[in-house]
Amino acid sequence: MPSLPPLDIKKNINYAPHVVILGAGASYAAFPHGDKNGRVLPLMRNMVEIIGLEPLLQSYGVTTGYEDFESLYDSLAADAKYKDLTIELENAVLAYFAEMRLPDEATLYDLLLLSLRDKDVIATFNWDPFLADAVKRNRHIKNLPRILFLHGNVDVGVCVEHRSKGFLEHSCSTCGQPLKPTPLLFPVKQKDYTTNPFIKNEWDEIQFFLEKAYLVTIFGYSAPATDVEAKELLLNTWKNNNTRELAEIEIINIRPREELEANWSEFFVRQHYAVFDKIGYSLSFKYVRRSCEAFAMATLQQAPWKENNFPETKSLEEIHQCLQPLLVEEDNEQLTGEPCE
């Protein structure tokens, strides 16, 4: 028998986490026209062109393979004579992403953060600082989901000695020293998820939450060939989840449905999955901050809740205002399932 999720019927609270995993496609969907200053978000297929890596590569005699940065980097990293080149490539990529800035208006990343609660998790494979910046400008709301950076991030810093993690502009709360940058994991087939304490911690946490998750959303992540290990780790953890039989997995991606079903089939339990091309169809956008409750009420209690979407506005302040009734319910630990005005 599958285990039931930790659902408190009196309080209407489902304590199981909703885990959202973000890949490059998520940042691209959120910022199709680039950042605040029009800086374009590079993808693996145009990384060389967008960041302007061609002269650097040519100076080392590398003249082909530009259309797939993943394979290109993987092959360079395997060859000792390109050691300096790979370091220069890493620095150039880091510098490009570090300069990216969130547009002023509410973005998909703001909504995604606000659509979940502090029992939930967003784990991203992306290096860009958009999710971190969205946390900074929404965190006064409190009850935001936990954020994990599975491949490192340009905006995250750590003090290894005191095990503190924060954004780069912060200092360690124990020793007062500025936090140090975390490594970015570049696309090689054999990624090391255990040696660096920061990266290891992020992976320990995603596994901890995935084992308890009641909803999983995989947004814009295609588990490329250089991420075999990551996909394997996620799958093995997911298989240990005792509520998996009752849980739901959502794949949000613009790739063809058949391709996505084939790519993720090992994660599916019977028909307990959905494939959408937009994050707006995700349960956390249809039942803002109540995704796990709404899903449990519909499937286990046969008492579905009314949909509660975000208001149609680009003003972050208005969105925060709109969410107030939900935040009050959360403070009182008594949810109603009633939509906002």
Other beta carbons within 10 angstroms of residue 256's beta carbon come to 11
Nearer to Zn ion, 179 or 335 (CB): 179
Nearer to Zn ion, 170 or 191 (CB): 170
Per CB under 5 A, the segment of 154-162, 235-243, 245-253, 292-300 that binds Zn ion is: 154-162
Nearer to Zn ion, 158 or 322 (CB): 158
Q: d(Cα 196, Cα 320) in Å, to the nearest integer?
A: 37
Nearer to Zn ion, 83 or 180 (CB): 180
162 Cβ contact list (under 8 Å, min separation 6)? 172, 173, 174, 175
Q: By CB neighbour count within 10 A (0-12 exposed, 13-18 middle, 19+ buried), where does 247 fall?
A: buried
Per CB under 5 A, the segment of 35-43, 78-86, 134-142, 153-161 that binds Zn ion is: 153-161
Question: Are β-strands 273-276 and 18-22 bridged in parallel, bridged antiparallel, or unpaired?
Answer: unpaired
Helices (H) and strands (E) in the chain, counts: 13, 11
Per CB under 5 A, the segment of 3-11, 155-163, 211-219, 278-286 that binds Zn ion is: 155-163
CB of 196 to Zn ion, least distance (A): 16
Nearer to Zn ion, 168 or 335 (CB): 168
188 Cβ contact list (under 8 Å, min separation 6)? 73, 74, 77, 78, 226
From residue 160 to residue 189, the character string flagging contacts with Zn ion as x (rule: CB under 5 A) and all else as - is --x---------x-xx--------------
| Position 194 contacts Zn ion (CB under 5 A) | no
| Nearest residue to Zn ion on Cβ basis | 172
| Position 159 contacts Zn ion (CB under 5 A) | yes
Up-side HSE of residue 73: CA atoms within 13 Å toward CB? Answer: 23
84 Cβ contact list (under 8 Å, min separation 6)? none
Rg value, the chain, Cα: 21
CB of 171 to Zn ion, least distance (A): 8
Q: At what angle do helices 316-332 and 130-138 cross, to 10 degrees?
A: 70
Q: Tell me if 4 sits within 8 A of 15, measured CB to CB.
A: no
Number of residues in contact with Zn ion, rule: CB under 5 A?
A: 5
CB of 165 to Zn ion, least distance (A): 11
CB of 139 to Zn ion, least distance (A): 21
Is residue 203 classed as helix, strand or coil in its secondary structure? helix
CB of 92 to Zn ion, least distance (A): 30
CB of 158 to Zn ion, least distance (A): 9
CB of 177 to Zn ion, least distance (A): 5
CB of 217 to Zn ion, least distance (A): 34
Per CB under 5 A, the segment of 106-114, 146-154, 159-167, 199-207 that binds Zn ion is: 159-167
Q: For binding to Zn ion (CB under 5 A), which residues are involved?
A: 159, 162, 172, 174-175
